[in-house]
């Protein structure tokens, strides 16, 4: 069985072809980061136009690289939400038109389901059930995953998502967009002992998060300093450390409360080195295991959408005759595939 997956929910155009026996056959990604950098964030209209330009060439490239032909492909899966409405529409229209012309089903996929299944592209593959930590630019969630389509959100951010907090703090340190990776590399030159940032919401029960206060804390700290290179690096280090430790505390709490022994990490912030190291040592002490997607599949990509499409198709999903993209769409509305 072969599924073509298409991702276009934000500023990355991703396409991949996956085979049920051979795994990932080919994947390609076009990142629009450079186009949006001068505006300091994603401009939705520019994102939609760029998806229009890049999607068909990427699809041709993936099919050619895999030496596949349309006749071998059993379904097309695409990100139907959540995300930017114009960007989603480009991927949905293309996926459905291609699927129609090939006479195969078009399967809508929830973007966050794609992220949380992404570690299953790797070997060893985590088995159900597991705890998932989803940390991206738009979401911060702890999810109890019983099976595909059976998700319970145990906690989420009440304000900024982790990636968003990284991006906003990076901006106030004068770093470019997207700020997460830039802040993380600046933090490597910073001292871990100079500033003690708070660990928000860790002193009370529950699994929700709040990150907007850390950004304000960073701003207030900066205002008291000259703002030299070392000051910035030290603030970056203290900020990163506070975020990582807060996530560690909540993940450990969720493992203990649910009794789950597998933790899966996904989303762009999952690429953060200190977070990866911290989680590795936390799970070792908890006698649990942690699974990450490879770096390039932490951020948005087509492979995770192809995989989610494959899993759903194998379980009987065949898409619907009508369709709508869902810019806002809760993970908990999903059901197990038919
Ligand atoms: O999952 P993703 O590619 O897109 C969304 O669906 O949001 O996540 C992007 C986010 C951005 O906020 C980016 O700054 C952050 O992930 N990010 C990082 C790192 N790499 C990407 N944050 C911290 N450290 C990193 N190494
Ligand atoms: Zn994403």
Question: Which 3 state secondary structure label does DSSP give 322?
Answer: coil
The confidence score (pLDDT) of residue 136 equals 92
Using the mean position of ligand 2's atoms as its centre, give its distance from the Cα of residue 115 in Å. 7
DSSP letter for each residue of 74-99: -EEEEEEESS-HHHHHHHHHHHHHHH
> How far is 138 from 198, CA to CA, in rounded Å?
22
Over the stretch 265-288, which tens digit does the pLDDT of each residue have? 999 999 999 999 999 999 999 999
In 3-state terms, the chain is what percent helix, strand and coil (to 5)? 45, 20, 35
Using the mean position of ligand 1's atoms as its centre, give its distance from the Cα of residue 102 in Å. 35
CA-based nearest residue to 246, from 289, 206, 285, 286: 206
Mean pLDDT of 243-263: 98
Over the stretch 143-154, which tens digit does the pLDDT of each residue have? 999 999 999 999
Q: Which atom of ligand 1 is nearest to the CA of 298?
A: 1
16, 157, 241, 276 from 196: Cα distances, Å:
44, 22, 9, 21
Which tokens sit at 152?
Answer: 């319970």
The ligand minimizing its distance to the Cα of 41 is 1
> How far is 147 from 153, CA to CA, in rounded Å?
13
Please determine, for residue 338, whether its predicted confidence score (pLDDT) is greater than 80. no
Using the mean position of ligand 1's atoms as its centre, give its distance from the Cα of residue 335 in Å. 27
CA-based nearest residue to 113, from 315, 321, 323: 315
Higher pLDDT, 155 or 178: 155
Please determine, for residue 178, whether its predicted confidence score (pLDDT) is greater than 90. no
Q: Where in the chain is the domain with CATH 3.30.420.40?
A: 2-117+297-333, 128-292
CA angle (82, 12, 48) in 5-degree steps: 75
The confidence score (pLDDT) of residue 112 equals 95
For ligand 1, pick from 10, 81, 84, 136 the residue to mutate: most ligand atoms within 8 Å of CB: 136
Whether 264 contacts 129, CB under 8 Å? no
CATH number of 128-292: 3.30.420.40
DSSP letter for each residue of 1-53: -EEEEEE-SSSEEEEEEEETTTEEEEEEEEE-HHHHHTTTS--HHHHHHHHHH
Which tokens sit at 255?
Answer: 């493992």
Please determine, for residue 323, whether its predicted confidence score (pLDDT) is greater than 90. no
Using the mean position of ligand 2's atoms as its centre, give its distance from the Cα of residue 136 in Å. 6
Using the mean position of ligand 2's atoms as its centre, give its distance from the Cα of residue 252 in Å. 24
Q: What's the half-sphere exposure (Cβ side, CA atoms, 13 Å) at 69?
A: 1
Q: Which atom of ligand 1 is nearest to the CA of 163?
A: 12
> How far is 31 from 11, CA to CA, in rounded Å?
6
Give the rounded distance of the alpha carbon of 82 from its chain centre: 12
> How far is 319 from 104, CA to CA, in rounded Å?
10
Using the mean position of ligand 1's atoms as its centre, give its distance from the Cα of residue 235 in Å. 19
Please determine, for residue 207, whether its predicted confidence score (pLDDT) is greater than 80. yes
Q: Which atom of ligand 1 is nearest to the CA of 272?
A: 26
Q: Which atom of ligand 1 is nearest to the CA of 12?
A: 3
Using the mean position of ligand 2's atoms as its centre, give its distance from the Cα of residue 193 in Å. 33
Over the stretch 95-132, which tens digit does the pLDDT of each residue have? 999 999 999 999 999 999 999 999 999 999 999 999 99
Strand partners, 61: none
pTM of the full structure: 0.94
For the chain, percent of residues with pLDDT exceeding 70: 100
Question: Which 3 state secondary structure label does DSSP give 154?
Answer: strand
Which class is domain 2-117+297-333? alpha beta
CA angle (108, 110, 116) in 5-degree steps: 135
The ligand minimizing its distance to the Cα of 239 is 1
The ligand minimizing its distance to the Cα of 140 is 1
Provide residues with CB under 6 Å of ligand 1. Answer: 10, 136-138, 163, 166-167, 178-181, 184, 267-269, 271-272, 299-300
Over the stretch 128-145, which tens digit does the pLDDT of each residue have? 999 999 999 989 999 999
Please provide the average confidence, as pLDDT, over all residues in the chain: 96
Please determine, for residue 3, whether its predicted confidence score (pLDDT) is greater than 80. yes
Over the stretch 29-83, which tens digit does the pLDDT of each residue have? 999 988 898 888 899 999 999 999 999 999 999 999 999 999 999 999 999 999 9
> How far is 104 from 77, CA to CA, in rounded Å?
10
Higher pLDDT, 239 or 321: 239
Give one word for 206, left, alpha or beta, with left for phi > 0 and alpha for psi -120 to 50.
Answer: left
The ligand minimizing its distance to the Cα of 304 is 2
For ligand 1, pick from 109, 160, 166 the residue to mutate: most ligand atoms within 8 Å of CB: 166
The confidence score (pLDDT) of residue 21 equals 97
């Amino acid at each position: 069985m072969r599924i073509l997956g298409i991702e276009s929910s934000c500023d990355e155009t991703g396409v991949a072809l996956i085979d049920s026996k051979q795994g990932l056959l080919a994947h390609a990604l076009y990142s629009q980061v450079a186009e949006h950098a001068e505006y300091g964030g994603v401009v939705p209209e520019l994102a939609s136009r760029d998806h229009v330009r890049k999607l068909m060439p990427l699809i041709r490239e993936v099919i050619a690289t895999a030496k596949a032909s349309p006749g071998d492909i059993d379904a097309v899966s695409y990100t139907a939400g959540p995300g930017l409405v114009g960007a989603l529409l480009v991927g949905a229209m293309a996926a459905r038109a291609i699927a129609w012309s090939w006479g195969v089903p078009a399967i809508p996929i929830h973007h966050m389901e794609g992220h949380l299944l992404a570690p299953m592209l790797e070997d060893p593959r985590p088995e159900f059930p597991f705890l998932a930590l989803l940390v991206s630019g738009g979401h911060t969630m702890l999810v109890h995953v019983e099976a595909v389509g059976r998700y319970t959100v145990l906690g989420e951010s009440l304000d900024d998502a982790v990636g968003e907090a990284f991006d906003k703090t990076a901006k106030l340190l004068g770093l470019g967009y997207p700020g997460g990776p830039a802040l993380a590399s600046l933090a490597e030159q910073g001292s871990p002992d100079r500033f003690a940032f708070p660990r928000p919401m860790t002193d009370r029960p529950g699994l929700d998060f709040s990150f907007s206060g850390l950004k304000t804390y960073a701003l207030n700290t900066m205002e008291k300093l000259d703002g030299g290179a070392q000051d910035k690096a030290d603030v970056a280090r203290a900020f990163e450390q506070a975020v990582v430790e807060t996530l560690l505390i909540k993940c450990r709490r969720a493992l203990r409360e649910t009794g789950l022994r597998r933790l899966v990490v996904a989303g762009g912030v999952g690429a953060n080195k200190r977070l990866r190291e911290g989680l590795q040592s936390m799970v070792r002490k908890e006698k649990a295991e942690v699974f990450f997607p490879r770096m390039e599949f932490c951020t948005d990509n087509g492979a995770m959408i192809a995989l989610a499409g494959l899993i759903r198709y194998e379980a009987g999903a065949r898409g619907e005759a009508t369709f709508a993209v869902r810019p806002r769409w809760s993970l908990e509305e999903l059901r197990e595939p038919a």
